[in-house]
């Protein structure tokens, strides 16, 4: 469910004449992720949306969904001494899940999570190495690295591999409708007294039916 309400802005109180509701991003809905976005909307003298800015947002996917929808809105123009004027209004959105959210995946897909945890713990067996795609890359902070090259470089791998004390405190694994791609969202703690890390990992299934890791994004 997506809920919204207009907050105060410049000019007289405005009403929405045409409203297009944002779509809940499918990946986040299936992953059980809720969030919110606040947008600042500039409305011209005709009541059309002239500009949209993000005030705050919990996820980029929610930002994209709300901005796409709000750009299609139409308002009653604000007035000053009876004349239409340009005005701004803040629009908050809240994305909350209903009972229809779900997680899906085959037994093979769920094994992908175990392989990811082995990588984080430095347990690079032949089976684990084989499921990493040749062109797979990882983003750690603002650095983009070739994943296999990173893991092979002991100096660099230290910024990525968490060690044997790494634990997964929360995870969500989903597949798309065609079951040819999978998404793992993982929250880990590298060790006692250390902060959490958040991982978003994408897998693709080859024509031969083999699952390969293709992208991995890490943030703290």
**The dihedral of CA 199, 26, 171, 196: what is its sign?**
positive
> Residue 67's pLDDT band (boundaries 50, 70, 90)?
very high
Cβ atoms within 10 Å, residue 147: 20
pLDDT tens, residue by residue, 128-161 = 888 898 899 998 877 888 999 888 888 888 778 8
Q: Model pTM?
A: 0.51
**Pseudo-torsion of CA 96, 114, 123, 153, nearest 10°?**
-50
Name the CATH superfamily housing domain 2-95.
Answer: TonB (3.30.2420.10)
Query: Does position 35 have pLDDT exceeding 90, yes or no?
Result: no
Establish whether domains 2-95 and 107-219 are of one fold.
no
Mean pLDDT (the chain) is 80
Q: In this predicted model, which residue has the larger pLDDT, 212 or 220?
A: 212
* Least confident range of 7-21, 83-97, 193-207: 7-21
Phi, psi (deg, nearest 5) at residue 213:
-75, 130
* 65 neighbors 92 (Cβ within 8 angstroms): no
Q: What is the second-level CATH architecture of the domain 107-219?
A: Roll (3.10)
How confident is the model at residue 63, as a pLDDT?
A: 93
Dihedral class, residue 149 (left if φ above 0, else alpha if ψ from -120 to 50, else beta): alpha
Q: With a cut of 80, say whether residue 123 has pLDDT above it.
A: yes
Domain locations in the chain as residue ranges:
2-95, 107-219
- List the single range of 30-34, 55-59, 195-199 with lowest mean pLDDT: 30-34
């Amino acid at each position: 469910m997506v809920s919204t309400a207009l907050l105060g802005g410049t000019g007289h109180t405005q009403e929405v004449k045409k409203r297009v509701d944002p779509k809940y991003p499918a990946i986040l809905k299936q992953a059980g992720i809720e969030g919110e976005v606040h947008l600042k909307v500039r409305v011209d003298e005709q009541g059309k949306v002239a500009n949209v800015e993000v005030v705050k947002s919990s996820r980029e996917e929610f930002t994209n969904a709300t901005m796409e929808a709000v750009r299609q809105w139409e308002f009653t123009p604000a007035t000053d001494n009876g004349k239409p004027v340009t005005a701004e209004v803040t629009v908050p959105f809240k994305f909350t899940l209903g009972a229809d959210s779900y997680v899906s995946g085959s037994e093979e897909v769920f094994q992908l999570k175990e392989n990811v945890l082995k990588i984080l713990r430095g347990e690079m067996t032949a089976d684990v190495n084989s499921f990493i795609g040749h062109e797979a890359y990882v983003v750690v902070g603002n650095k983009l690295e070739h994943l296999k090259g990173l893991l092979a470089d002991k100096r660099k791998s230290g910024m990525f591999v968490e060690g044997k004390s790494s634990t997964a405190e929360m995870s969500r694994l989903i597949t798309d409708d065609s079951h040819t791609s999978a998404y793992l969202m993982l929250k880990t703690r590298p060790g006692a007294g250390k902060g959490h890390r958040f991982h978003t990992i994408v897998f693709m299934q080859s024509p031969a039916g083999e699952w390969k890791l293709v992208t991995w994004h890490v943030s703290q």
